[in-house]
Structure 1
Amino acid sequence: MTTATRTLQLKAAPLIVEAEKEKKPVKVRITAYTGGIMTVPGWGPVIIDLQGLDLPQRVTLLLDHEGRTEATIGWGIPKTDGKTLVIDGTVTEATDAGKLVIALLKDDVPLQASVGVETNQYRPLKPGDTITVNGQTITVESDTFLIEGGILREVSVVPLGADKQTMVTLAAGVRNMTHQPAPPENSSPGETIEAKYILDLLSVCGDDMSTFRQAIENRLPLETAKALAETRRRPVIPPVLNAEVKDTPASILAAAALKLLGKESLAEKELGAETLSAAASYKPRTALDLCGMACQMSLGYAPRGTNEIIRAAFSTTDLPVALGVAANKIALDAYQQAPATWKSFARIVSAKDFKEHTGIRLTGDFKLEELAAHGEIRHANVGEETITYKVTTYAKMLMLDRQHIINDDIAILDQIPTIFGRAAARKVADLVYTVLLSNPGGFFSAAHSNLITGAESGLSVASLAEAIAALRKQTDADGLPLDLVPRVLLVPPELEATARQVLNSVELYRSGGDQLPAGNPFAGLNIALEVEPRLSNTYFPGNSTAAWYLLCGPADGSFLVAFLNGQQGPTIEPVDPGADKLGTGWRCYIDIGAAAADWRCAVKASGA
């Protein structure tokens, strides 16, 4: 048996009305999607796999995808046989939009339907690819997106589809969503919610009012609401923020936002020249233009009026995610450019979760020995020295509201992520130097032969020479030299001038009967000077204006810094600002930890 292969061009399907003139509201049946290829503004050709589309028990019917109460025209029950999406719905006369639709239908005006889908999984198809989906075998002729997972958010009645070949418009971009189960079959929208349920729900949700409202609206079980609240408290990185798909609406909008901020080079570097060119073709000049651009790309049209444009733009996820992507790029750029003296001596490691991790330093009899005549290789004595560390999340939130957009204050999108990026860099440094100054477990001590004290420990040629000797003389557990090389002289700001004189002076002044050579013994020695203000800052316990440190490079790892899943730098992702706020919000967080690792690779001098 062979299967015929054909290329489909989807036509907009009619809106079929089944109503009795004597009864109100009006019952309708909407053929929302017939399973083939659609051409969606901002995406191009798209196919939605109905098997991966989550259908709510009830879906809101809107007019022209406008996310306003006044644009609501009714509700419907979505159904699919795996091939076609159909809505059995009710259009109400409670709103002017509903009255308009009913009047048009009664006058036999042909109307079409369009679905609003929030996607959470998709993949690109290349020209010539053949897939079997929605009961059809389809060969695509151009680059096409296959939506493999998503949530039906709304269905709209429209005069025309996105263009002559389609009746469906995607009203959202890409965001990682937590799946919500449908309400119990025996519940109804008008059902009274008992007081005990509300009190229990408040207990599990805490101050998470977004989850509380969602649980009330959908009558979620307490365990489900609790799990959702916990998930929202713990940051999750949306896929779109880590690996943007080329020329998606979110990436094009992100490039447009960066261009508006005068960061074209950053947009080209992070998102690509083609994406930046696509963004430039829309010619956005203001924050409101960016909202209109989001409407055109996601909805296929831009409403009239400032408030309507802003409301429609933020009813999609393309714009919030795009602004989140732009904020991420700005924050990471600021993070990477911020001073980080710890990078000169600390080793960076990756942690796969938030549990305590153990690092192992192997020591023992590793001296290579001559192979005996019989060919037996002797085993080394292996001991273990453990290092424990864990990562913790540090976070803040920011908001971009309607007032910022109307005032064209999009510069806040540059300022706040830049501040967050630098704040994240400072937090890492704070952790590292908090550990260093706390001297955990006697890290710097006479027992470890890495602590210089007394009147002669102030920074000088003689004391630095003593520290270099102490570091070079460190041995492993078997008493064998470790061949450590000093790489970093770490000082507080109060010792910067002295440190530069000690390291860089061509000649040294000698007095009295000292007839030794006057040349600088450290000339040509590859020791970098790092000046760290935290060493003497009174906020940090253990601070000192006189103490200084000599350390090996990052490969030897006297200290270590851990990042969750190896992601260095902060992450910014969109969050729901709540039903009472018009705009969008983002949360910024970084998952980091720091620990003292190997005392052999560091020397401290307490200073005079």
Structure 2
Amino acid sequence: MKNSSQRPASSGQQTHFRFECPISIEAAGDNKEVPHFSMVAYTGGMMKIAGFMHPVVVDLEGISIDRQNIPIRLDHNPKQGVGHTDRVVIENGQILADGLISRDTSWARDVAKSGSRGFPWQASIGADILAAEFIPNGSTVTVNGRSFDGPLYVIRQSILKEISFVDNGADTQTTATVAAHQAEPAKQPVTPLSEKEPPMDETKDKHTPETPADPPQTPQKIEAASGVDDPVLQMRQRVADETRRIQAIRTVCDGKHTDIEAKAIVEGWDTTRCELEVLRASRPAAPAAHVRHQSGDPKVFEAVALMAAGVADARMQASYDAPTLEAADRLRGIGIQEYCERISGASHFPRFRRDASGWLQAAFSTASLPGILSNVANKMLLEGYNYIEDAWRRVCKIASVNDFKEHTRYRMTGSFTFEKVGADGELKHGKLDEMKFGQKADTHGIMFALTRQMIINDDLGAFADIPRSIGMGAAEAIADAVWGLLLSNPNDFFSLAHKNYKDGADTVLSVDGLTLAEILFSEQTKPNGRPLGITPSLLLVPTALKVAAQLLMTSVLLNETTTANKGKPANNPHVGKLEVVSSAYLSNPSFAGASSKAWYLLADPNRIPAIEVAFLNGVDRPTVEKTDADFNTLGIQFRGYIDFGVREQDSCLPQLQKRKFRWFKRKIEEVK
């Protein structure tokens, strides 16, 4: 065998197929016996099965029968129980089954009664596929002792799960017999329906021996007084018989099957044949598709990938409903190859190791796979993005720009103090000035790919980890830009000239140090020399001062050491004044100007910001897009990017407090 491709199913796969064949039903001998049925379910040949593009052959060496008492249903409906099997075997290249119509349901009675009357019931057997192989055109395969030419599918491994009564068979080589044996003649009164002669049912198998039914009633002869048959009376008798036949047909059809009623009257059907046709027309139609695949809900496949990446259960439950998570859990552990094939809905992918380009083209030519992978990448990108410390959001103003040009921000200043109106009633104009600040957004991004190596390794979690790492990188890029700008002190942003910088032993973070900083902050002025009138809102500290800052903001009573002959107040005057914000970046030695002792007072960033972070069109999270891979990359590429800019704004309000620090070439160095 050559040029074939095999795709084993995972342990949780529920791909299902059904093949159909005739069966035989043996009626009960008396009221105490249970009707039996028997069937030749499959003869090992080629079948046309709904849902498969090409013929199907089931490898009898690979089909598993895990139990003998398999449920029997009508039209594969679990609610329409009929009975069970008591013997299922594979003999002489065939699947044979015998069983009992043991259920006490209307469907069981329908099957038993109509089968005993000759209705050509057939069986539809359902099995779970564990491994299937596609044999392409031009190739030959030997299965069940026979040779078959492609294209076709070979079900290599499967498990027999259920059998149902249906109408049509897929295996044309199977045969069936129908018998209506009785231990003794029925002793019940004969009903009008049984008084008619049994029809010549052309659907019965010619090889099936039939037990003689009740002999037909001999038509009653009406003799004239003279002893000679009266033709008029005979004609009247025939008319009466025809009238009764038509009336019985109309009673059976009950006005619900007018087509059958008309055909039965015209073609001279007897009541028994009409009953069989009505029963057949009254049954629910068999399912149109006999192949069950996994749900194609994109959310299920998104959840599968997120589970593989180790996303916490709480976050999964917040994002997806219970049915979606249950469906995704059944696919837990599948690899990239099966994941892509399931999403694409393709059943004849080439093997990736033999034809990687063909596999990728087949997978990504569908509309669903690229979209689902992009959604998964976006969710993982955002997950990683949210992992990184984002304390900068609490101290920076978040703004939006609509392009990549340089933008100018303005803050209006001047004198707007109300003045007393003179006797002439004239109101004087206020003086209006402005201060300018710049802003510009740039693109930050990186490429990543679903590579040939990742697909061969078949690790779905590894693919999901890549966008998460890139999301973390995007968050780090913003944090690096914000804290790097703050610590670099651009244009002497914190300086004595701006009256927003102080160092020395008295600036240690304490009640006294905070009092000193608060005074310095409050004494800042507008360009016209008048008080700014803004109070501090945030206390920004490195991680080394976080606990001290929190205690300073929450402790009502003080326990500070007093100096000689000088008392200390017992109450904390700064309780609850400021919001404490801490960042590990402030003391990280990889940043120039970092310190574990410097701390900052800041105003509300929405009132007068010290630093502004602007995002293009207000999109403050990274984006993932699928792109065509470069010629030298065998796989599928994605790009993740975010557009943002960081710029210092107003130097009036931030206050930098340092203990034993001095300025030198715009860098802060600790005095040893």
- Tell me which interval the TM-score lies in, with the shorter structure as reference length: 0.5 to 0.7
**Closer, same or farther in 2 for the Cα pair 1:375/1:384, shift >3 Å?**
same
CA distance in 2, matches of 1:531, 1:441: 24
The C-alpha deviation readout for 1:59-83, integer Å capped at 9, x for no partner, is xxxxx9xxxxxxxxxxxxxxxxxxx
- Indicate which of 515, 518, 533 corresponds to 2:567: 515
* 1:390 paired residue number: 440
Within-5 A mapping of 1:416-565: 416-505=466-555, 506-507=557-558, 508-525=560-577, 527-556=578-607, 557-565=609-617
2:570 paired with 1:570:
no
* 2:76 paired residue number: none
The C-alpha deviation readout for 1:109-149, integer Å capped at 9, x for no partner, is xxxxxxxxxxxxxxxxxxxxxxxxxxxxxxxxxxxxxxxxx
* 1:291 paired residue number: 340
| 8 Å Cα contact 1:486/1:550 also seen in 2 | yes
**Closer, same or farther in 2 for the Cα pair 1:475/1:288, shift >3 Å?**
same
| 8 Å Cα contact 1:292/1:309 also seen in 2 | no
Query: How far 1:267 moved relative to its partner?
Result: 6.5
Gaps of 5+ in 1: 1-63, 65-96, 101-163, 165-246
| 8 Å Cα contact 1:251/1:325 also seen in 2 | no
- Indicate which of 363, 370, 380 corresponds to 2:430: 380
**Closer, same or farther in 2 for the Cα pair 1:277/1:606, shift >3 Å?**
closer
**Closer, same or farther in 2 for the Cα pair 1:280/1:371, shift >3 Å?**
farther
CA distance in 2, matches of 1:278, 1:500: 44
**Closer, same or farther in 2 for the Cα pair 1:573/1:252, shift >3 Å?**
farther
| 8 Å Cα contact 1:562/1:593 also seen in 2 | yes
Query: How far 1:550 moved relative to its partner?
Result: 1.2
2:650 paired with 1:602:
no
Letter in 2 for 1:574: K
The C-alpha deviation readout for 1:393-415, integer Å capped at 9, x for no partner, is 22222222233234331112332
Aligned residue pairs, count: 365
2:411 paired with 1:361:
yes
The C-alpha deviation readout for 1:399-453, integer Å capped at 9, x for no partner, is 2223323433111233222222222112111111121122222221222221112
**Closer, same or farther in 2 for the Cα pair 1:589/1:355, shift >3 Å?**
same
Identity level (%)? 34
- Indicate which of 340, 346, 351 corresponds to 1:305: 351
CA distance in 2, matches of 1:444, 1:514: 34
**Closer, same or farther in 2 for the Cα pair 1:544/1:259, shift >3 Å?**
closer
| 8 Å Cα contact 1:487/1:528 also seen in 2 | yes
Query: How far 1:357 moved relative to its partner?
Result: 0.7
Letter in 2 for 1:257: A
- SS of the aligned residue for 1:288 comes to helix
**Closer, same or farther in 2 for the Cα pair 1:445/1:581, shift >3 Å?**
closer
- SS of the aligned residue for 1:599 comes to coil
* 2:643 paired residue number: 591
The C-alpha deviation readout for 1:285-308, integer Å capped at 9, x for no partner, is 512232112321xxx654253556
Query: How far 1:363 moved relative to its partner?
Result: 0.8
CA distance in 1, matches of 2:372, 2:422: 67
Query: How far 1:599 moved relative to its partner?
Result: 1.5
- SS of the aligned residue for 1:541 comes to coil
**Closer, same or farther in 2 for the Cα pair 1:444/1:292, shift >3 Å?**
same
Query: How far 1:390 moved relative to its partner?
Result: 0.8
Query: How far 1:385 moved relative to its partner?
Result: 0.5
* 1:77 paired residue number: none
| 8 Å Cα contact 2:549/2:580 also seen in 1 | yes
Within-5 A mapping of 1:143-158: none
**Closer, same or farther in 2 for the Cα pair 1:284/1:344, shift >3 Å?**
closer
CA distance in 1, matches of 2:505, 2:137: 88
Letter in 1 for 2:489: N
Deviating more after overlay: 375-384 vs 247-256: 247-256
TM-score for both structures, normalised by structure 1: 0.53
- SS of the aligned residue for 1:468 comes to helix
Letter in 2 for 1:350: S
TM-score for both structures, normalised by structure 2: 0.48
- Indicate which of 384, 387, 392 corresponds to 1:334: 384
- SS of the aligned residue for 2:389 comes to coil
Query: How far 1:564 moved relative to its partner?
Result: 1.2
**Closer, same or farther in 2 for the Cα pair 1:404/1:476, shift >3 Å?**
same
**Closer, same or farther in 2 for the Cα pair 1:545/1:258, shift >3 Å?**
closer
CA distance in 1, matches of 2:326, 2:443: 36
CA distance in 2, matches of 1:393, 1:279: 39
* 1:257 paired residue number: 305
- SS of the aligned residue for 1:530 comes to strand
Query: How far 1:488 moved relative to its partner?
Result: 2.1
Query: How far 1:559 moved relative to its partner?
Result: 1.2
Q: What is the Cα-based RMSD across aligned positions, in Å?
A: 3.6
**Closer, same or farther in 2 for the Cα pair 1:347/1:385, shift >3 Å?**
same
| 8 Å Cα contact 1:282/1:293 also seen in 2 | no
CA distance in 2, matches of 1:279, 1:374: 82
Query: How far 1:370 moved relative to its partner?
Result: 6.2
Letter in 1 for 2:562: R
Letter in 1 for 2:652: R
Letter in 2 for 1:532: S
| Larger gyration radius, structure 1 or structure 2 | 2
2:393 paired with 1:347:
no
**Closer, same or farther in 2 for the Cα pair 1:372/1:565, shift >3 Å?**
farther
| 8 Å Cα contact 2:305/2:461 also seen in 1 | no
| 8 Å Cα contact 2:309/2:465 also seen in 1 | no
CA distance in 1, matches of 2:394, 2:350: 56
Within-5 A mapping of 1:22-33: none
- SS of the aligned residue for 1:364 comes to strand
Gaps of 5+ in 2: 1-52, 54-135, 140-287, 289-294, 661-672
| 8 Å Cα contact 1:444/1:603 also seen in 2 | yes
| 8 Å Cα contact 1:509/1:518 also seen in 2 | no
CA distance in 2, matches of 1:479, 1:503: 32
Query: How far 1:579 moved relative to its partner?
Result: 4.2
Letter in 2 for 1:547: A
| 8 Å Cα contact 1:284/1:293 also seen in 2 | no
Letter in 1 for 2:584: P
Query: How far 1:369 moved relative to its partner?
Result: 4.9
Query: How far 1:372 moved relative to its partner?
Result: 7.4
The C-alpha deviation readout for 1:443-498, integer Å capped at 9, x for no partner, is 21222221112332333322211111121232333444333232222223343454
| 8 Å Cα contact 2:350/2:359 also seen in 1 | yes
**Closer, same or farther in 2 for the Cα pair 1:257/1:501, shift >3 Å?**
closer
Query: How far 1:593 moved relative to its partner?
Result: 1.2
- SS of the aligned residue for 2:459 comes to coil
